[in-house]
């Protein structure tokens, strides 16, 4: 046993192994501190009342009761300012229903174009993926300018659609969430395009060649070969899209502000958690809301996987 330990110790002295372990340890420590530790501390904190300064006071399930009362009052039509969690949840569910299907469809379309053997293919691949590499802050600021009443989007629509009146997309509660969703779709479709492109390039060419010999055109090949072969990747992209959409924070914060803009139209659950923790100084309630959000994300992704995951394999 001692000889085995000695042998392992001698191998560990190798510089490459030491360097590898060092790099891995950094990732592990960061994941433990900012991932698992934060998650379990939030669960612990959800049972306490605290203001970051004084002693923590155990309140049992009181913080969870606050969240439940918020949801109940929201269902009974209370003003949005009095039910911030309900307002954020309602908005983020609508946002998710808009973003996830469109970004998935658009990613498949972009991947199909990028998979064609045409001149300038590499340029198109880079162009499609470029939004995914751009800072969301920069993207949001640019789109705020584009969505202004005298911005470029209204300029184009006025010249394309006869009789169109310019819209103040950001400061109108009826359009704000759709403006945020548009930015999200533009920024994420390129990222998922890469996933679909990799899956498309893994499809054996012999299948397409056999279909062409049988007289199948491009449309039939796409719907009867490409889409069925992409089903596992579609499941993955939809699940990742659901997770990202339900916890959206950055675009809402920049485009709508901490209060969610006019009528709370851009308010999200993540924004509400932030406000609970750092504006209302109720970290216990923020932790409880975080766990509610975790439960919603887990349940949504689990049900989708259970219902559609097997069918798409």
Per residue in 87-112, pLDDT (tens digit) is: 999 999 999 999 999 999 999 999 98
pLDDT at 105 (0 to 100): 94
User: Regarding predicted confidence, which is higher, 254 or 14?
Assistant: 254
Give the number of other Cβ atoms within 10 Å of residue 289's Cβ. 29
On whether both 39 and 121 belong to a single domain, the answer is no
On whether both 17 and 95 belong to a single domain, the answer is no
Query: How big is the chain by its Cα radius of gyration, in Å?
Result: 25
- When the pLDDT of each residue in the chain is averaged and rounded to a whole number, the result is 88
3-state SS, residue 171: coil
- 85: buried, middle or exposed (CB in 10 Å: 19+, 13-18, 0-12)? buried
Structural domain boundaries, residue 12: 1-46
What is the value of pTM for the model shown? 0.86
Flag whether pLDDT at 172 surpasses 50. Answer: yes
On whether both 4 and 118 belong to a single domain, the answer is no
Number of domains in the chain: 2
Confidence label for 213 from pLDDT (cuts 50, 70 and 90): confident
Flag whether pLDDT at 269 surpasses 90. Answer: yes
Per residue in 24-76, pLDDT (tens digit) is: 887 788 877 777 888 899 999 999 999 999 899 999 999 999 999 999 999 99
On whether both 180 and 33 belong to a single domain, the answer is no
Confidence label for 2 from pLDDT (cuts 50, 70 and 90): very low
> CA-to-CA distance for 272 and 30, rounded, in angstroms?
26
CB-CB contact of 241 with 104 (8 Å): yes
Q: What's the CATH number where 290 sits? A: 1.10.3720.10
On whether both 30 and 165 belong to a single domain, the answer is no
Confidence label for 273 from pLDDT (cuts 50, 70 and 90): very high
On whether both 217 and 238 belong to a single domain, the answer is yes
Half-sphere exposure of 159 (CA within 13 A, CB side): 6
On whether both 56 and 13 belong to a single domain, the answer is no
Per residue in 131-148, pLDDT (tens digit) is: 888 888 899 999 999 999
pLDDT at 4 (0 to 100): 55
Flag whether pLDDT at 292 surpasses 80. Answer: yes
On whether both 71 and 15 belong to a single domain, the answer is no
pLDDT at 12 (0 to 100): 54
On whether both 28 and 166 belong to a single domain, the answer is no
Confidence label for 14 from pLDDT (cuts 50, 70 and 90): low
> CA-to-CA distance for 264 and 42, rounded, in angstroms?
26
On whether both 117 and 248 belong to a single domain, the answer is yes
On whether both 22 and 96 belong to a single domain, the answer is no
On whether both 88 and 229 belong to a single domain, the answer is yes
Flag whether pLDDT at 208 surpasses 70. Answer: yes
pLDDT at 9 (0 to 100): 54
């Amino acid at each position: 046993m001692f000889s085995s330990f000695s042998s392992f110790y001698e191998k560990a002295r190798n510089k490459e192994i030491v360097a590898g372990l060092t790099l891995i340890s950094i990732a592990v420590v960061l994941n433990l501190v900012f991932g698992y530790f934060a998650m379990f501390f939030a669960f612990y904190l959800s049972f306490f009342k605290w203001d970051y300064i004084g002693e923590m006071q155990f309140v049992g399930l009181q913080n969870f009761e606050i969240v439940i009362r918020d949801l109940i009052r929201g269902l009974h039509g209370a003003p949005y300012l009095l039910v911030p969690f309900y307002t954020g949840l309602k908005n983020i569910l609508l946002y998710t229903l808009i973003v996830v299907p469109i970004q998935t469809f658009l990613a498949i379309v972009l991947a199909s174009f990028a998979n064609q053997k045409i001149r300038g293919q590499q340029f198109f691949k880079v162009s499609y993926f470029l939004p995914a590499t751009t800072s969301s802050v920069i993207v949001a600021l640019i789109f705020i300018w584009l969505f202004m009443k005298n911005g470029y989007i209204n300029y184009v629509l006025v010249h394309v659609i006869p009789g169109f009146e310019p819209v103040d997309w950001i400061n109108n509660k009826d359009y704000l969430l759709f403006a945020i969703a548009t930015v999200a779709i533009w920024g994420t479709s390129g990222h998922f395009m890469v996933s679909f492109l990799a899956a498309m390039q893994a499809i054996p060419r012999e299948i397409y060649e056999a279909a062409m010999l049988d007289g199948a055109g491009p449309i039939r090949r796409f719907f009867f070969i490409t889409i069925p072969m992409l089903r596992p990747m579609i499941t993955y992209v939809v699940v990742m899209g659901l997770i990202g959409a339900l916890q959206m924070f950055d675009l809402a914060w920049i485009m709508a502000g901490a209060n969610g803009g006019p009528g709370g139209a851009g308010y999200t659950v993540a924004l509400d958690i932030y406000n609970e923790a750092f504006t209302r100084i109720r970290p216990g309630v923020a932790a409880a809301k975080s766990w509610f959000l975790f439960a919603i994300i887990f349940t949504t992704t689990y049900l989708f996987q259970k219902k559609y995951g097997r069918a798409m394999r």
